[in-house]
Every structure is written in structure tokens, then in C-alpha cells.
């Protein structure tokens, strides 16, 4: 069944009826008139049987192919031909004959239904010619624009290719430079590393010394605290007052236990206390609560001092900042967090290494940037911009359409998105997928896929339908199926070379 009745719904306009000349049986096109000869037996067009001519259009279906009833609705598979003088001829399914609905603009399909049809062919023909004319003009101009686009694209393409070649040449040099600088850097870093290790070791030693010092001070303090009667000796009973030193955790420090801690002695003096102190220092609670020194930051396991990889990697200034901020030391070189300054030659090594590093990194960065640029251009060159690269100009452009609620944005070969007009976040309606037009011209549709997921549904996707136009513009958007968007987009890039169309009303489209 042919579907030539697409424009039917336009049937509304008023026009004076033109007389319809019926030649031969009703509903037969000119090309088939020869098969219907008045008063001669009729053979079904599929050859299946022959019937008397009075059974043609007698409102009973005799032929399997429906050919005996071109002018009635009797056959389920018949078709009716309207001449539609002034407009285009067409076939309609014979089920539309006398169904009360005007299908043919020349009214010939409703000859016995009582439907009041008016002949609208002239009006339709005029409108169609106007539309065609307009379309032709647009196509013509669009096609010219397209030629220009193709030129531009060609030029651009060549330029880019040249550029890529140049860049690849440059890149080679950069590659070499980076390698040289890497060696320089590694050489410069060697003495730096050694110096750091040395320095670190020295610092560790100093730290141990400080710790020892502090322990001694604490011990002296404890001795004085314990020595309640200030006789210069700590006695068993004096020790007993510190129940926390209880070894068996029964809550009391017995005399025997205390004696045990004191190494069997009844009392000890300051120097003997040195041997007692290790036994009690872990448990000992000072009576005076003392501020914890900034030492805490050193004790903490997180402290990035010592042989920590950050030490070598972080630029020194950043390292200072890191330490001071993270560990709340008042300053990096505070009394308790003191890390003594590097000796002068060491600092020089550092400076040399740092410079080598900076140079290397700079070169590497330049190389990376170059790589990116090359990749971008190659990516662009790899896109399918149409048979003549006519779609190239759309690359890295974006086109917007504002509707009642949303602003839609199409960035060809990149993505489609939707943003509420009055605030709210953007929704991705799909990223570039592929050309997906029909086989004979895939460049009529673009598919954007894998957008933001829909609740209980698929990921959003958008089909962009391209039509010929002078302007490059998004003309409409819709969501025919949930989360599947359709965007109409005009561009000169799809304009075809206008054929020499003959717009005379008698140019049939006969199938």
C-alpha cells in the first residue's frame, strides 16, 4: 500500500469545485485505464480470474488483489486513485472511499457518503507550489553556503594537518630536551639526597639527646615531688603514696611492691633514683599537671619528619607550611620542634637540584601541552564531518533554543544539554555518539547517547534531525518518548544541490 496521502491533513481551505471528468471506471489511474475496457470481460490485474465487466466496481470484491473494485470500498486491499487536478494525484486505500471523510482534494472519494467535501486542490496546489518555491530558494542559498563551508573546511583541514606535522616535529625536539633535563636533574639531586640523609641522621641524634634531656628533667622533678619530707631521699612509704604505680592492679601499692620497684632498697637518693625511674616512669602521674609540650607533634606518628618521602618531594617552603599548619607548631623552628638549619653547602646543593627539577618539570609540562594539542587536532581531524567535511564548522560551536521551561543547548559532536530557565542544574541529554540517518544518507540524523540516567528508566539520549536551512539554528525540541529527546536543527550543510524542479501543476507523482 502506498502512503502518498501524507499531506492530506492540510485539506481545509476553500476553493470552488472544478468539474471532475471521470474516464473509465471510477478510481482507475490513467496508466491502468487500458485494462478496464467497457463491456469486455475484466481479468484481475494479478491474473487470478476473469469476470464480466459489470462486476467491476459493483461493490463486491471478486479479485484477490482488489483490482475489480478500484472505485468502491469492497476490497480490503484495493486502492483508489484521485486525479486531484490542480494538485498532486494520489492513491488512497479503498477503505477511505465513502467513509464520510474527505481524503481527495477533488472530493472524488466521497461520492456516496453524504460528506460535504469541497474541492481544495487549487488552493493546495498553490500552497504547495509556494512552499516548494520557498524550499527551492532556501535550498539554493543553503547549497551555496554549503559550498563555502566545504571550502573553509578543506582549508582548515589542510592547515590543521600542516600544523600537526609541525607540532610533531617540535614534539620530537621537546622529547629530546626532556630527556636531557631529566639526566641533569638526576645528577643534581644526588648530592642533595646525600645531604638530606646526613642532615636527617644528625637531627635524629639530636632529637634523641633532647628526649634524654627531657627525661632527666622529668625524673628530677619526680624525685622532688616524691621526696615529701625533702630529706633528699625517696622512701618506700613516699613511693606508696602513688597508687598508680601498683603493679598487680589491685588498687593499692603495697610496701613489698614499692620496695620491689625501688630495687629492694628502703630509700634512694637522687642518683640511685636514676635506676628506679625506668621502673616507674611509664605509670608515674605527676601531681602537677603539666602542659604537654609541643613535643607532641614530634611524637605523633603522622609527623612527616624523619625519612619521609614528602621531605624530598615538597619544595621546602611548602613543606614548612605543611608542617606548621598541620601540626600546629607555632613555627617550624620552635623551641621544641627545632630542626636545625642546614649547613650552607647543603643549601647550595638544594638550590642546584631545585633548579634542575624546575627546568625538567617545565620542559615536561611543555611536552604534555604539545601532546594535548596534537591529540585535540588529531581528534578533530578524525571526526566524520560529512562526505565533503561540510559539518566541520559545527565543531566546538554550541547552539541554544529557549522554550517555556528550559534552555536546550546543542554542541555538535560534543553534547546536548538542558537547563531550567529559572535556575537549577544542567542535565546531560547525551554525548556525541554517531551519525544515524538512513542508509542512503546517514548525515541527516545525529545521535547523542549516555546522558544523565532517568529514574527507573534509560539514560537520556537525543536524536538531532538535520534539515536544510540558510541559518544554523535549533528550531525545536521534544521528548517523544521518556528521556529520548528529538531536536530539529537546520544547517546549510545538508542542503542538496537543487534539481531543476518543474512546478507545473500537471506534474504527477504517480506510483
As given in the structure block, the three cell numbers for residue 94 are 479503498
List C-alpha distances in Å: 197 to 70, 301, 379, 446.
Answer: 103, 20, 48, 62
Provide the angle, in degrees to the nearest 10, between the axes of the packed helices 121-226 and 344-382: 160
Pairing of strands 461-468, 484-491: parallel
List C-alpha distances in Å: 82 to 85, 89, 92, 97, 112.
Answer: 9, 6, 8, 11, 15
**Which among 170-178, 311-319, 342-350, 472-480 is the span making contact with another protein, rule CB under 8 A?**
472-480
**Which among 80-88, 95-103, 274-282, 352-360 is the span making contact with another protein, rule CB under 8 A?**
95-103
Interaction between residue 455 and another protein (CB under 8 A): yes
166 contacts: CB under 8 Å, gap ≥ 6: none
Q: What's the closest the beta carbon of residue 99 comes to another protein, in angstroms?
A: 4
**Which among 90-98, 324-332, 340-348, 364-372 is the span making contact with another protein, rule CB under 8 A?**
90-98
Task: Give the residue with the Cβ less far from another protein, 46 or 361.
Answer: 46
Q: What's the closest the beta carbon of residue 419 comes to another protein, in angstroms?
A: 15
Interaction between residue 96 and another protein (CB under 8 A): yes
As given in the structure block, the three cell numbers for residue 276 are 628506679
Task: Give the residue with the Cβ less far from another protein, 9 or 39.
Answer: 9
Greatest extent of the chain over all pairs of C-alpha atoms, in Å:
151
Interaction between residue 478 and another protein (CB under 8 A): yes
Q: Are 94 and 74 in contact (CB under 8 A)?
A: yes
Is residue 139 classed exposed, middle or buried when 0-12, 13-18 and 19+ CB atoms within 10 A define those classes?
buried
53 contacts: CB under 8 Å, gap ≥ 6: 36, 37, 38, 39, 40, 41, 42
**Which among 53-61, 130-138, 203-211, 267-275 is the span making contact with another protein, rule CB under 8 A?**
53-61
Residue 504: name the closest of 125, 137, 127, 135 by CA. Answer: 125
Whats the size of the chain, residue-wise? 511
Interaction between residue 101 and another protein (CB under 8 A): yes
Task: Give the residue with the Cβ less far from another protein, 392 or 461.
Answer: 461
Alpha-carbon torsion (198, 201, 203, 205), positive or negative: negative
List C-alpha distances in Å: 95 to 11, 69, 484, 506.
Answer: 19, 11, 35, 27
Q: Which one of residues 41, 100, 420, 424 is an interface residue with another protein (CB under 8 A)?
A: 100
Interaction between residue 205 and another protein (CB under 8 A): no
**Which among 128-136, 211-219, 360-368, 473-481 is the span making contact with another protein, rule CB under 8 A?**
473-481
Task: Give the residue with the Cβ less far from another protein, 110 or 359.
Answer: 110
Q: Which one of residues 25, 29, 70, 93 is an interface residue with another protein (CB under 8 A)?
A: 93
Task: Give the residue with the Cβ less far from another protein, 106 or 484.
Answer: 484
Q: What's the closest the beta carbon of residue 291 comes to another protein, in angstroms?
A: 51
Interaction between residue 454 and another protein (CB under 8 A): yes
Binding mask 344-383 for another protein (x = CB under 8 A): ----------------------------------------
Instruction: Find cell 588529531 and name the residue.
Output: 378
Interaction between residue 113 and another protein (CB under 8 A): yes
Kind and range of the H or E element at 508? none
Q: What's the closest the beta carbon of residue 11 comes to another protein, in angstroms?
A: 9
DSSP 82: E
d(CA 84, CA 121): 6
Task: Give the residue with the Cβ less far from another protein, 102 or 323.
Answer: 102
Q: Are 79 and 95 in contact (CB under 8 A)?
A: no
Interaction between residue 422 and another protein (CB under 8 A): no
Q: Interface residues for another protein in 68-87 (CB under 8 A)?
A: 73-74, 76
Residues of this chain that interact with another protein (CB under 8 A) are 1, 3, 5-6, 8-9, 58-60, 73-74, 76, 93, 95-96, 98-101, 113, 404, 454-458, 478-484
Amino acid at each position: 500500500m502506498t502512503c502518498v496521502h501524507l499531506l492530506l491533513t492540510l485539506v481545509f481551505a476553500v476553493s470552488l469545485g472544478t468539474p471532475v471528468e471521470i474516464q473509465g471506471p471510477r478510481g482507475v489511474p490513467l496508466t491502468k485505464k487500458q485494462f478496464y475496457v467497457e463491456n469486455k470481460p475484466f481479468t484481475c490485474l494479478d491474473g487470478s480470474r476473469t469476470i464480466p465487466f459489470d462486476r467491476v466496481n459493483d461493490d463486491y470484491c471478486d479479485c484477490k488483489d482488489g483490482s475489480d473494485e478500484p472505485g468502491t470500498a469492497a476490497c480490503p486491499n484495493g486502492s483508489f486513485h484521485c486525479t486531484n487536478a490542480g494538485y498532486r494525484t494520489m492513491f488512497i486505500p479503498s477503505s477511505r472511499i465513502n467513509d464520510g471523510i474527505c481524503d481527495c482534494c477533488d472530493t472524488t472519494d466521497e461520492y456516496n457518503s453524504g460528506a460535504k467535501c469541497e474541492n481544495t486542490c487549487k488552493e493546495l496546489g498553490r500552497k504547495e507550489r509556494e512552499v516548494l518555491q520557498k524550499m527551492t530558494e532556501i535550498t539554493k542559498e543553503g547549497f551555496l553556503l554549503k559550498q563555502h563551508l566545504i571550502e573553509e573546511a578543506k582549508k582548515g583541514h589542510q592547515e590543521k594537518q600542516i600544523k600537526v606535522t609541525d607540532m610533531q616535529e617540535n614534539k620530537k625536539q621537546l622529547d629530546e630536551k626532556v630527556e636531557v633535563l631529566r639526566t641533569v636533574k638526576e645528577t643534581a639531586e644526588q648530592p642533595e639526597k646525600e645531604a638530606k640523609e646526613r642532615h636527617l641522621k644528625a637531627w635524629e641524634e639530636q632529637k634523641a639527646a633532647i628526649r634524654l634531656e627531657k627525661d632527666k628533667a622529668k625524673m628530677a622533678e619526680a624525685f622532688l615531688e616524691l621526696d615529701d619530707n625533702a630529706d633528699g631521699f625517696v622512701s618506700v612509704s613516699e613511693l606508696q603514696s602513688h597508687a598508680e604505680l601498683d603493679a598487680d592492679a589491685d588498687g593499692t601499692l603495697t610496701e613489698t611492691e614499692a620496695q620491689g620497684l625501688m630495687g629492694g632498697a628502703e630509700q634512694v637518693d637522687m642518683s640511685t633514683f636514676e635506676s628506679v625511674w625506668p621502673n616507674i616512669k611509664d605509670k608515674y602521674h605527676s601531681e602537677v599537671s603539666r602542659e604537654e609540650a609541643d613535643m607532641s607533634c614530634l611524637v605523633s606518628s603522622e609527623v612527616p619528619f624523619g625519612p619521609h618521602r614528602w621531605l624530598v618531594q615538597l619544595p621546602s617552603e611548602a613543606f614548612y607550611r605543611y608542617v606548621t599548619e598541620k601540626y600546629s607548631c607555632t613555627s617550624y623552628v620552635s623551641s621544641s620542634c627545632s630542626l636545625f638549619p642546614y649547613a650552607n653547602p647543603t643549601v647550595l646543593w638544594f638550590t642546584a637540584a631545585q633548579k634542575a627539577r624546575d627546568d625538567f618539570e617545565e620542559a615536561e609540562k611543555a611536552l604534555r601541552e604539545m601532546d594535548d594539542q596534537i591529540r585535540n587536532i588529531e581528534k578533530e581531524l578524525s571526526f566524520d564531518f560529512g562526505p565533503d567535511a561540510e559539518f566541520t564548522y559545527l565543531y566546538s560551536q554550541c547552539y541554544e533554543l529557549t522554550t517555556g521551561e528550559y534552555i536546550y543547548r546543542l554542541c555538535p559532536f560534543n553534547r546536548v544539554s538542558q537547563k531550567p530557565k529559572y535556575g537549577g542544574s544542567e542535565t546531560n541529554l547525551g554525548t556525541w555518539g554517531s551519525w544515524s540517518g538512513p542508509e542512503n544518507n546517514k548525515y541527516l540524523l545525529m545521535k547523542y547517547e549516555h546522558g544523565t540516567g532517568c529514574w527507573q528508566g534509560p539514560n537520556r539520549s537525543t536524536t538531532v534531525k538535520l534539515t536544510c536551512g540558510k541559518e544554523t539554528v535549533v528550531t525545536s525540541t521534544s521528548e517523544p518518548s521518556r528521556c529520548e529527546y528529538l531536536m530539529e536543527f537546520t544547517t546549510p550543510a545538508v542542503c542538496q544541490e537543487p534539481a531543476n524542479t518543474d512546478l507545473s501543476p500537471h506534474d504527477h507523482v504517480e506510483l
